[in-house]
Amino acid sequence: MLACLRAYRFFLPTLMLFGLALFPYWGEGGSEIQKSESDAQTKPNVFIVGIDALRPQELAYFGGQHDVTPFLDQILQHAEVFSQNYTPAARTHAAWVALLSGRYPYHNGARFNLTEDDLIDKEHLLTRALKQEGYRTVWGLDERRFNNIDQSYGFDAAVGPKVGAADFLITKFSDNPLVNLLSNTWLGAKLFPYVYGNRANFVTYIPYQFNDELIKEMHGGQPVFLGAHLTLPHYPFINHLMKPVQYEGDEVFHYRNYLSMLELADRQLADLFTKLDNAGFLTNAIIYIISDHGEGFPKVDTGLEKGNPFSSFKVSSYGHGTNVMTLSQYHTLLARLQFQNGKVINPAKQETHLTSLIDIAPDILEKLGFQSGYQFDGIPLDHVASDRYVILESSYSNEAVSASRVNQLQVLQQSAEAYYVAKDGRLLLQREFY
């Protein structure tokens, strides 16, 4: 009898844990998506969907050879595509603030990842202009380690793991049976806020569940502005749902996994579009599909060559935000789609004039017919001239980040003096680095 009682005491908690794992939305009414309350609204929903580190040259639409993004390539066939688009800063936080402000990093203050708040102009942002016009503003980001954007940037809601320096540590030590079992449940969201919905926790992260969380925050009867950034293709290029991608050529460290993560990101994008459509959000909508920056890979990119072989000046580098001379880090995707009555109404075309992510905010306001009074560096996309120029800014980085094989311990050691933990738990760049 004693043995049976001990077995029962072990079995019951285990059964409860498995129940929680099998029913991640238990107690929250399930994950069924209902039709949008704003199907008949006159103001279109506005969506900016970013895919981290996406290199346009990998897409079949631009002649890429690996065919890892079939859904995105199909979408681009019906879109207005701006093929010569560049990010002003090849780092996620700086790129998105430039996008939301319509201004270069030098002007908006967010010149590097994890910039201190009081250096950033958070008032003159697209989100605040749209809120004044009755929009519900939602931000979604499935990895927060290098991006501190939250509700303080004019968003009504923010989807994703909790922001903080602990994110750098907890995801390293969260791979244990209990955390893995609960991490995708409502209880896991309460117990492990740095792990829930966190792409960095590659053992358990489910991109389709992150999409569900986005849809939940968008209901409310108002037109919606959504800024969603999907970070699967970012280093370290690994997730438990990824699959290998076959390609011809030399075996290059990291590049093969990067292609696989692009394939998984494409599946996530297809799932998000399906859920937006099923919920009625695509009945009347304007969508921008972007990448925040590209990526540099050794033996894959052919960059500039030194004019003087004895020069120590670097003309190429790996990763992103490490060298403005490696244009694969700065060349980004930009495509625009407009839906009316659930159908695409824009012409399918490719525009080759030089554009930048800073053009998106003024373009949205022009499309909607709103006046913000803001001073933009960007230009609405339909007014970009052929003699236009754009500015690219470099970023703080250390030697370990630029190496062809990233040693994480070296990165931490070299970065230790550059960052500090603020009182609210966030990791920030030391001000003197400016």
Task: Go through the domains of the chain in sequence order and give each one's CATH number.
Answer: 44-433 (3.40.720.10)
The predicted-structure confidence for 277-314, as pLDDT tens digits, reads as follows: 999 999 999 999 999 999 988 778 876 677 777 877 77
Please report which residue ranges of 219-325 form alpha helices under DSSP H.
255-278
Tell me the backbone φ, ψ of residue 324, rounded to 5 degrees. Answer: -70, -15
The arithmetic mean of pLDDT across residues 410-421, rounded, is: 68
Is residue 15's pLDDT more than 50? Answer: no
Encode pLDDT of 113-125 as tens digits.
888 888 999 999 9
Residue 207 DSSP SS3:
helix
Give the residue-averaged pLDDT of 394-417: 61
| pLDDT at 107 (0 to 100) | 96
Average pLDDT over residues 138-159: 90
> What pLDDT, on a 0 to 100 scale, did the predictor assign at position 39?
43
Confidence band for 23, pLDDT divided at 50, 70 and 90: very low
Identify which has the larger pLDDT, 11 or 283: 283
Task: Specify the range with the lowest mean pLDDT, choosing from 90-104, 231-245, 263-277.
Answer: 231-245
Residue 344: what are its φ and ψ, rounded to 5°?
-70, 130
Look up residue 363 and give its amino acid. D
Residue 12: the pLDDT is 38
Which of these ranges, 16-25, 123-132, 140-149, has the smallest mean pLDDT? 16-25
Residues 6+ apart with CB under 8 A from 34: 219, 279
At 337 the three-state DSSP class reads strand
Mean pLDDT of 371-392: 94
Residue 394 has a pLDDT of 84
Q: Is the pLDDT of residue 418 over 60?
A: yes
| Of 5-14, 151-160, 237-246, minimum mean pLDDT range | 5-14
